[in-house]
Chains A and B, each alone.
Chain A
Amino acid sequence: MPFYEDIKVGQRGELGSFTFTAELIKKFASQFDPQRFHLDEEEGRKSLFGGLTASGWHVAAVCMKLMVAYAQRHARHAAERGDEVAIGGPSPGFRDLRWIKPVLAGDTVTFFSEVESLRASSTRPEWGIVQARNTGTNQRGELVFSFLAAGFVPRRNAKP
């Protein structure tokens, strides 16, 4: 995680890729979203989605997983260079989340994040707020997932 001052509008990162196997789709769905098209191949084929489909919340959770891993790699590299490591804050929420196309069993989704806006927090002077458009693209190059995320990032030299 970089400091607020090091982030620029338009910066884009590839967060990583994830393959949604039938087993993983069913495991998440049975716990959190047991709609029939997330649990059974035949029901998936009969649905609008045309096959066993990952829960949209599974896709979102995997995006978070890869985002955290990406931030941890960044922190490791910063530490290796002897730089100060920033620890990101929580998120106040997100907007405009779209499940654009189904993520079907066997699909591999690559996630990206692009900074859209930056502002200082009006109530918390040691923090800034970054808005980023996070997206997922499948192995056929189709955009399947997108949302506008917000998150607190620490300001340099402003220890909480």
Chain B
Amino acid sequence: MTLTFEDFPPGHFGTFGPRRVTREEILEFAAEYDPQPMHLDEEAASRSMLKGLSASGWHLCAIMMRMIFDGYISRTASLGSPGVNELRWLAALRPGDDITLDVEVAEARISRSRPDTGIVTFKAVARNGAGEALCEWVSPIIVRRRDAMKAEQAG
């Protein structure tokens, strides 16, 4: 069953994960995309503001993307996202952390320019196993409306 705009009323949507993040994948992502010593080297990381090896914030973003893909985007009539309103990195993601993602629909409205679609704004919070918030992410996605999907399937 494909999820459409109507399946995203404002309120709590779901909790996804846990997803374990290993040291190896932290180092691999950092080496490719964010080779700062605080993401690659224990010793340098211990002297950094984050006081220990931590994942690149962009790695956490990519992991959250994969978690929402597996959680619901893969079965949503999504046309993509225009961007991110706000994203805050609140605490360091450490090797071995188990991430859970709490997703809330902050706002859902029909698009004025494309009335066969709606704009669903999500607020997602990633937490580690201790329940500490690591990241808060507010982003709209464009989702097709049910009637538009039905009309296309019928036609």
Q: Do A and B bind each other?
A: yes
Contact surface of A with B, Cβ cutoff 8 Å: 28, 31-35, 37, 47-49, 55-57, 60-62, 64-65, 68, 87-99, 124, 127, 147, 152, 160
The reply on B80 being an interface residue by CB < 8 A is yes
Q: Tell me the minimal C-beta distance from B1 to chain A in angstroms.
A: 18
- Would you give the 0/1 interface string for B47-73, flagging 1 where the beta carbon is closer than 8 Å to chain A? 011100010111001110110010001
Select A90's contact among B32, B48, B63, beta carbons within 8 Å. Answer: B48
Inter-subunit contact B49/A89 (CB<8 Å): yes
B residues sitting closer than 8 Å to A (CB atoms) are 32-38, 48-50, 54, 56-58, 61-63, 65-66, 69, 73-74, 78-89, 92
Whether B50 lies near A90 (C-beta < 8 A) is yes
Residues of A near B66 (CB, < 8 A) are 31-34
Roughly how many angstroms separate A124 CA and B134 CA in the complex, as a whole number?
20
Q: Are A65 and B65 in contact (CB under 8 A)?
A: no
A96 to B84, CA, bound (A): 6
Chain B, Cβ-Cβ closest to A152: B49
- B89:A60 contact, CB within 8 angstroms: no
Partner of A160, one of B34, B49, B54: B49
| Smallest beta-carbon distance A65→chain B, Å | 5
**A98 CA / B84 CA spacing, docked (Å):** 7
B35 near A68 with CB under 8 A, answer yes
Residues from chain B with a CB closer than 8 A to the CB of A92 are: 88-89
CA distance A31 to B78 in the complex (A): 19
List of B residues within 8 angstroms of A32 by Cβ: 62-63, 65-66
Q: Measured between alpha carbons, how far is A91 from B87 in the docked complex, in Å?
A: 11
8 tightest Cβ-Cβ pairs between the two chains A and B: A93-B88, A97-B84, A32-B62, A98-B83, A61-B33, A65-B33, A97-B83, A61-B58
Would you call B48 and A89 a contact (CB within 8 A)?
yes
B139 shortest CB reach to chain A, Å: 8
**Minimal Cβ-Cβ distance residue in A for B36:** A68
Besides A32-B62, A47-B80, 11 new A-B residue pairs in contact (Cβ under 8 A), listed by A number: A32-B66, A34-B69, A61-B33, A64-B56, A64-B58, A65-B34, A87-B48, A89-B48, A90-B48, A91-B57, A96-B85
Given A88, A89, A94, which contacts B87 in the complex, CB threshold below 8 Å? A94
A94 surroundings in chain B (CB, below 8 A)? 84, 86-87
A-B contact pairs, 28 of them (CB 8 A): A31-B62, A32-B65, A33-B62, A33-B65, A34-B66, A35-B74, A37-B80, A49-B80, A55-B65, A60-B61, A61-B34, A64-B34, A65-B33, A90-B38, A90-B48, A90-B89, A91-B57, A93-B57, A93-B86, A93-B88, A93-B89, A96-B83, A96-B84, A98-B82, A98-B83, A99-B82, A124-B49, A152-B49
